[in-house]
Amino acid sequence: MEDVISPFETALLTLDRLKANEILEETSGTWSPMEQVKHVVVPTLERIGSGWETGRIALTQVYMAGRICEELVEKILPREAPDRKRQPEMAITVLQDYHLLGKRIVLSALRASGYELKDYGRMDANELVQQTLVDQIEILFISALMLPSALKVASVKKQLDQSKSPVRIVVGGAPFRLDETLWKEVGADAMGWDPSDAVSLIGKFTGVSS
């Protein structure tokens, strides 16, 4: 697998869309689109995510790699394709602040991994709670760049608990990376250190691997 993943990673990090597309297409004779996602795209994004965590790869590379993967996967596995993973019901949002990059990166990683989820954009705590309940969301990804926004997760959690929602809350963003206890403090169920954690956390919550 390394002889596919390694050049695929290099193509993504050097923004060589053509090369990345070529590598993925070469596997189409062997694998179905969902298998291509599982064996090539997901492990590559995991490697890129780990690389960012260790300082080997920069955030702009993570973003562009995720975007390219999202485009490539959409070609082989369009949004309406029945093989797309629509369960569990998931949504992603930026809470309160206007810094959307983190959400965008995780959304790309999840869509590139074959998942479909709702993009709530930016929401305040009350509207997020209402929408989560209406849509019967099971896993809610919340991104926050500012500490006050991160602390508002506690209010979201409290209101959802009061409504007896079974939703699992996964948080991510700079404040959570700088204070490793913050996600527990605000009542989240998990924290993503890097974008690829979102995929593994879905597996953890559902008991189904990606």
Partner 1 sequence: MNHDKVSSMDRVLTTLSHKEPDRVPLFLLPTLHGAKELGLSIKDYFKKAENVAKGQLQMREKYGHDCLSGFFYGPIEVEAFGAEVIYCDDGPPNSGTPLIRDPEKILTLTPPHIEHSKCLLKVLHAISIMKETIKDEAPIIGVAMSPFSLPVMQLGFDRYIEVMYERPDLFSRLMEMNQGFCISWSNAQLKAGATAICYFDPVSSSGMIPPEMYLKTGFQMAQKTLSQIQGPTATHFASERCLPIIKDVARTGTAIVGVSAFEDLAKIKTACKENKLTVLGNLNGIEMRRWTPDETERIVKKAIAQAGPGGGFILSDNHGEIPWQVPDEVLMAISEAVHLWGRYPLDWV
Tell me which residues touch partner 1 (CB under 8 A): 15, 52, 55, 57-61, 63-64, 96-101, 104, 146-149, 151, 174-175, 177-179, 181-182
DSSP annotation string for 40-83: IIHHHHHHHHHHHHHTSS-HHHHHHHHHHHHHHHHHHS-TT-TT
Distance CA(141)–CA(52), nearest Å, equals 20
Cis peptide upstream of residue 166 (ω within 30 degrees of 0): no
Q: ∠ CA 191-189-185 to the nearest 5 degrees?
A: 80
Q: Minimum distance between the CB of residue 85 and partner 1, rounded to whole angstroms?
A: 24
Q: ∠ CA 3-43-178 to the nearest 5 degrees?
A: 130
Q: Minimum distance between the CB of residue 52 and partner 1, rounded to whole angstroms?
A: 8
- Residue closer to partner 1 by CB (options 27, 61) is 61
Q: What is the CA radius of gyration of the chain?
A: 17
- Residue closer to partner 1 by CB (options 35, 119) is 119
CB 71 within 8 A of CB 64: no
Q: Minimum distance between the CB of residue 81 and partner 1, rounded to whole angstroms?
A: 25
- Residue closer to partner 1 by CB (options 15, 133) is 15
Q: Minimum distance between the CB of residue 204 and partner 1, rounded to whole angstroms?
A: 25
- Residue closer to partner 1 by CB (options 34, 174) is 174
Q: Minimum distance between the CB of residue 31 and partner 1, rounded to whole angstroms?
A: 30
- Residue closer to partner 1 by CB (options 78, 148) is 148
Please name the residue that has the structure tokens 């998931």: 90
